[in-house]
Chain A
Amino acid sequence: AQRVTQPEKLLSVFKGAPVELKCNYSYSGSPELFWYVQYSRQRLQLLLRHISRESIKGFTADLNKGETSFHLKKPFAQEEDSAMYYCAEGAGGTSYGKLTFGQGTILTVHP
């Protein structure tokens, strides 16, 4: 079964500091990976997906198949980045599209 691990439940940084949210996945094939974000009192929304290789709100994520990781990074954190972040993996085959989520990391950016 697919498994997504986010080892940090809480992460605190100061404004302007670099931030890295860790994610490890278990699927051994060609995974489809996502980062979703949930701001306070808002719905879950897509931040980025690895296949598009976009940078959204200054965040990037690199797929490392050797380490089965998909860590989310931003060089200079902003207070408005404070939110819950979920890493998710998309299933393949007949389950294509079904997402398996990690437990989430709460990021707090202090002024």
Chain B
Amino acid sequence: DTGVSQNPRHKITKRGQNVTFRCDPISEHNRLYWYRQTLGQGPEFLTYFQNEAQLEKSRLLSDRFSAERPKGSFSTLEIQRTEQGDSAMYLCASSLDWNTQYFGPGTRLTVL
């Protein structure tokens, strides 16, 4: 197990297009988190799952954002009708219960 993986690593899209990112957590981890990081800022919490249940969503997560974790394993984050303000690094992390969160390498989104 090489840790949390995220795909793609980079995504360039045009404004108005839909994008989907994938996160594969460490296999036995039941919690999965999504964060967003913009230039010069620390990561900001977006949402998290315990197994397949989405337990909390940040106010940062507008209606254009949706996240799923259908079988309690990998998760997807979809952004519909992307805007330039969505350009950021999207980070995924996983943990076993409330223990240490292990982060993935991130997906860098650029919206032109």
Which A residues form the contact surface with B (CB < 8 A)?
4, 9, 43-46, 49, 86, 88, 90, 94-104
Contact = CB atoms under 8 A, between A and B. Distances in A.
B41 interface: yes
Contacts of A98: 33, 45, 48, 56
Interface of B: 3-4, 31, 33, 35, 40-45, 48, 55-56, 91, 95, 97-98, 100-106
A100 B3 CA distance: 22
Contacts of A95: 56
A53 B33 CA distance: 25
A100 B31 CA distance: 16
A96 to B, nearest CB: 6
25 contacts: A43-B103, A43-B104, A43-B105, A43-B106, A44-B91, A46-B100, A94-B55, A94-B56, A95-B56, A96-B98, A97-B33, A97-B95, A97-B97, A97-B101, A98-B33, A98-B48, A98-B56, A99-B33, A99-B35, A99-B43, A99-B101, A101-B43, A101-B44, A103-B40, A104-B41
Nearest to B56: A95
A48 to B, nearest CB: 10
A2 to B, nearest CB: 10
Contacts of A102: 42
A87 B23 CA distance: 24
